[in-house]
Amino acid sequence: MENELLEKVANKTLTKEELHQKVKQDFDLLPIVLTGLHSPKAIVRYGCAKVLMDLSEEYPEKLYPYMDAFIELLDSKYRILTWNAMAIIANLVKVDKDQKFDAIFDKYYGFLNNDYMVTVANVVGNSRKIALAKPHLLQRITVALLKVENISVTPHLTEECKKVIAEKAIGFFDLFFDKIEEKEKKKVLSFVERQLDSSRRTLRTKAADFLKK
């Protein structure tokens, strides 16, 4: 059954959408889809990852028993799988009764120092879900996101990329500002004020709108 299902994905006789529906009807197929993440064939790897990402949003409680596998996937040699794992983990945080995310907080937010813009942007973008599910982590997330203006420029993360990331961070601060502790609030305001003279118009606007509020 295992090889048959993944073979169908590989030879395109089973689409991602069809695989999604099959798993929804029988969650016992999840271990098979998980093995697909380690397939040498890109179509199988990324097809299975997309299905798991979509399912994690709809049925986090069904995927939570495999949380450790997704945490391991953060170390994948394939960046796309790392991004998928980040998204899946953020979706599972709301059912994280064993505090598995809390244990990997530093690892997850360590990706803010990654060389790739998409990786960093994913951490910032997923932070909203994490803070909503785990309000006790809000201050730690705030402290982590305040550091994004100091991340190093790389061939895959330009000064312009940093401005996009700063914009995303302001979006996060805007959502949670009333719940942020006073000492961090001051730092957030300073961070936002520093973006007012950015060369990126949307960042300047976002900063100005935030400060008006």
For residue 62, give the nearest of 100, 24, 13 by alpha carbon: 24
Domain coordinates of the chain in residue numbers? 1-97, 104-213
Give pLDDT, residue 3: 79
Beta strands in 61-175 (DSSP E): none
Give pLDDT, residue 172: 98
Give pLDDT, residue 1: 54
Question: How would DSSP label each residue in 49-66?
Answer: HHHHHHHHHH-HHHHGGG
Please tell me the total number of residues recorded for the chain in this structure. Answer: 213
Give pLDDT, residue 138: 98
At a CB cut-off of 8 Å and minimum separation 6, what does 55 contact?
20, 23, 24, 62, 63
Fill in the amino acid letter for 47. G
List per-residue pLDDT tens for the chain, 213 residues long. 567 999 999 999 999 999 999 999 999 999 999 999 999 999 999 999 999 999 999 999 999 999 999 999 999 999 999 999 999 999 999 999 999 999 999 999 999 999 999 999 999 999 999 999 999 999 999 999 999 999 999 999 999 999 999 999 999 999 999 999 999 999 999 999 999 999 999 999 999 999 998
CB contact at 8 A, 115 and 151:
no
What is the rounded distance in angstroms from the CA atom of residue 131 to the CA atom of residue 169? 13
Q: What is the pLDDT of residues 19-67, one digit of tens each?
A: 999 999 999 999 999 999 999 999 999 999 999 999 999 999 999 999 9
